[in-house]
Chains A and B, each alone.
Chain A
Amino acid sequence: MFYNFNKIEEVKIRLRSAEGHICEVEESAALMSSFIRSMIEGFNEVTEVSLPNINSVVIEKVIEYMRHYKDKDPPIIKKPIISSKMEENTSAWDAGFIDADWNMVVDLMTAADYLMMIPLRDLCCAKMACKFKGRSIDELRAEYHIENEFPSEMEENLEFQHPWRLE
């Protein structure tokens, strides 16, 4: 792609959401996504990318992340996470950014996976892990409406095998 260095205004990439809304983002920020990068590099003069499975709220969020980490590397989250509070696992900005409700995090995670933005996907995964960490089995089942799929003998057996749970 021919790039004019004298041009003052940077090339904008237009992202078309599921609802058909257009969100604009600077090219340098958009390149964080390997998906968009391959679109731009694969087809010359592409300035519009259509993302039919991502809604505009999520796209706005992704763009916020892209702009913030345009010139620097996102912090790496250590595995396993040390606390169920996101602030203790990563930077304050990241923790604030990802502080959203369950559905938003899930949408963001699938979007990041689709756009191939590994750092954002990892951030979402860590956030989800935080929600799981330190919770009892029954709490988790109740919260995510999961039926107990294990037969009751097996359950007892498991209780027997996991004495530390009684601590």
Chain B
Amino acid sequence: MLPRPLIFEIITYLDTPSLLSISLVSRNLNKAANSPCLWKREFFRIWIPCDNTPALLCQDFHIVDCFDVDWKGLCKKGLHLRSDWLKLSGFVLSSYEMLFLYNEFTGSLKAPIIPFPALRRDIQSFPTILQDLLGNPEDQFEGDFDYEDYTMAFASCLRERQDELYAEIESINDLKLLTCYRWNIENTDIPAERLSIESVSTDSSDTFIDFSGQKQTESMVLNFFETIKNTLQFFCDGITGALVESDDLVSEYCNRWTDYCAAMKTINGLFLPLTEMINEIYESKFPDSPNFPRMNMMRLMPAIWRRHVFEKIKDRIASSLVNNVNYQRQKVYKGENPDLEFCDTVKGLIEAVMDISLNELSVYFKNHSQLQLDGPYSFLHLELISQSAEYYNSLNLPINTLIDFFENEHAFSTAFLPQSTATQLKVLKYKKIQSEILNILSAEIINYAPEDHPISINNYDILSSVIGKILLQVDNNQEKVIRFLLSCKEHKEIVQKFNDIQQILDDSSKSEEDEIIERRANILGVRFDATPEEIMLFSFSRDINFNQMSGVLKAFSIY
């Protein structure tokens, strides 16, 4: 008998079917053939597009860490699915045709034809594949590469890559023609009884087309559709496993999603006859049902991805995103330039997550600062906001440094975050600065002794304008604040100012920024466009530390 390491070596040279039979020969071989790394390699080889993962094809495969993903189970399930596909044959499509479809389907999942590789996510303004399709829902029924009108960048790229593109167009069209030919059942001389897909479906009287896949139906069309869905779910499970075990989750996720998007396009074309058929059946069966969801692979595939990939690893994605962003912030704080490569990666991730959050409407308002997305992106957004708030609050810096840092950080975060998130972060930063200013001012109040420096309301209206906030915040010094308030002759005016401030704080996220600055400046008692001399005079006249005052003004003027 051979030593174990050698048996393992031999077995690494086998593929899935041989591995499965050999694992049934004897216990020893069974043990050797159960190595998860081996199955992971097999799964990747069969299912996952590998041009992005050259490391996975290397010879020393078993060095790669394997966690608790059941790769063997996945490989087996893949084989089950294949036999499920073949079982469907014979009704309308012959087994040969079924195999052809299966191979096209899995082939496009495995090696998607990515249009314009140079443009995938490199040019910031270029919409991603899915957004193209969402923005142009009619497109999918026309020529696949009819994008010429998009951007200048695209047009020039098209010229450069003409030859490649034409090669692609030809193969795609050939493929589509071939599939359409195969699918176009009415035109071929298939016996009439084979054409009765619709009647089969309507005959089974209590059949309800259940898109969530709970109910089993007898109809071949729906069975077929279930099988497609199962295959996609299985594929997404595998992707999740691959992502969980990858070193660089963020960029891996982007790559996988880009591949999936590209595959989506081909697959949509491939199963268009089927989805249209389902829509027709549904329409004829439930003519009164209003606004039924039209079946469409372009909708289905992102939904499956969302449930089977994103939802499972969203916590990992969010934490890895936040960690990366905080690391880069640290760099910005030290005055170094943030990693450009990182910005691109994060931008890619955000685009990828936004892809599954957008719908036909919101795709047009993608860059709007007030865009409220529900779904996957909102999760990432909220996570980022709450983590950033913690980060900002943990900063303990002098106000001038803080303002400089925030300015740089803002420039850095707008480089990769969508407008709406960046605006929210801006509000957070603003609040942090505000609370810092309040701290400084409240310290002034605490140190204030009325018997030493009698004050008038005019000199201290800057303080009075924030008194309300201080009252709320500095509970333990309430007495001092009240003493301060009493020393101010016109008590009513202070209350009025407090109300003003409160109102501005309330709707600061909604109103126009310039307006806020102006109103704030009015309350401070300076003109919005005051010169430094004026500011200095102003601050001297109010007996406030000039540095703090300029900090205050700077804080307002950056927003």
Interface of A toward B, CB cutoff 8 Å: 76-77, 79-81, 106, 109-110, 113, 121-122, 125-126, 128-130, 132-137, 140-141, 144, 146-147, 149-150, 158, 161-165, 167
**Whole-angstrom distance from the CB of A158 to the nearest CB of chain B?**
6
A146 in contact with B26 (CB, 8 Å):
yes
A132 in contact with B9 (CB, 8 Å):
no
B83 in contact with A163 (CB, 8 Å):
yes
Given known contacts A80-B13, A132-B14, A167-B86, what 7 new A-B pairs fall within 8 Å (CB)?
A80-B12, A81-B15, A110-B6, A129-B13, A132-B10, A132-B18, A164-B80
A125 in contact with B13 (CB, 8 Å):
yes
Main secondary structure of the interface of A (DSSP, over half): helix
B83 in contact with A79 (CB, 8 Å):
no
Q: Is B24 engaged at the interface, CB distance under 8 Å to the other chain?
A: yes
- Complex CA gap A110/B5 in Å reads 11
12 A-B residue pairs with Cβ-Cβ distance under 8 Å, sorted by A, are: A79-B59, A79-B61, A80-B18, A80-B42, A125-B6, A132-B14, A132-B18, A133-B18, A136-B21, A146-B26, A149-B26, A162-B76
A150 in contact with B24 (CB, 8 Å):
yes
B83 in contact with A164 (CB, 8 Å):
yes
CB within 8 A of A167: which of B2, B59, B83?
A: B83
- Complex CA gap A163/B86 in Å reads 12
- Complex CA gap A161/B15 in Å reads 18
List 4 A-B pairs, minimum CB-CB distance, nearest first.
A129-B13, A80-B15, A125-B9, A128-B10
- Complex CA gap A66/B152 in Å reads 61
**Contact mask B1-29 → A, CB, 8 Å, 1/0?**
01101100111111101101110111100
Given A163-B80, A167-B83, A134-B10 contact (CB < 8 Å):
no
Q: B12, B25, B26 — which one has the most chain A CB atoms within 10 A of its CB?
A: B25
Quick one: closest B residue to A140, CB to CB? B25
**Contact mask B288-305 → A, CB, 8 Å, 1/0?**
000000000000000000
Given A106-B2, A122-B9, A81-B14 contact (CB < 8 Å):
yes
B41 in contact with A79 (CB, 8 Å):
yes
A121 in contact with B9 (CB, 8 Å):
yes
What number of residue pairs across chains A and B have CB atoms under 8 A from each other? Answer: 87
**Which A residues are CB-close (under 8 A) to B61?**
79
- Complex CA gap A80/B46 in Å reads 11
Interface of B toward A, CB cutoff 8 Å: 2-3, 5-6, 9-15, 17-18, 20-22, 24-27, 41-42, 45, 59, 61, 76, 79-80, 82-83, 86
- Complex CA gap A136/B9 in Å reads 21
Quick one: closest B residue to A134, CB to CB? B18
- Complex CA gap A79/B37 in Å reads 13
Quick one: closest B residue to A159, CB to CB? B24
**Which B residues are CB-close (under 8 A) to A136?**
21
**Which A residues are CB-close (under 8 A) to B76?**
161-162
Quick one: closest A residue to B80, CB to CB? A163
**Whole-angstrom distance from the CB of B54 to the nearest CB of chain A?**
14
B83 in contact with A129 (CB, 8 Å):
no
Q: B18, B20, B42, B76 — which one has the most chain A CB atoms within 10 A of its CB?
A: B18
**Whole-angstrom distance from the CB of A113 to the nearest CB of chain B?**
6
CB within 8 A of B22: which of A106, A110, A125, A132?
A: A132
Quick one: closest B residue to A112, CB to CB? B6
Given A132-B18, A133-B18, A137-B21, A164-B79 contact (CB < 8 Å):
yes
**Whole-angstrom distance from the CB of B199 to the nearest CB of chain A?**
30
- Complex CA gap A77/B5 in Å reads 18
**Which B residues are CB-close (under 8 A) to A113?**
3, 5-6
Quick one: closest B residue to A147, CB to CB? B26
A129 in contact with B11 (CB, 8 Å):
yes
Given A109-B6, A163-B80, A129-B21 contact (CB < 8 Å):
no
Quick one: closest B residue to A138, CB to CB? B25
**Which B residues are CB-close (under 8 A) to A77?**
13
- Complex CA gap A106/B10 in Å reads 11
Quick one: closest A residue to B12, CB to CB? A79
A129 in contact with B26 (CB, 8 Å):
no
- Complex CA gap A77/B27 in Å reads 27
**Whole-angstrom distance from the CB of A135 to the nearest CB of chain B?**
7
**Which B residues are CB-close (under 8 A) to A133?**
14-15, 18
- Complex CA gap A150/B18 in Å reads 18
**Whole-angstrom distance from the CB of B114 to the nearest CB of chain A?**
25
Quick one: closest B residue to A158, CB to CB? B24
**Which B residues are CB-close (under 8 A) to A150?**
24, 27
Quick one: closest A residue to B16, CB to CB? A80
Q: A80, A128, A161 — which one has the most chain B CB atoms within 10 A of its CB?
A: A80
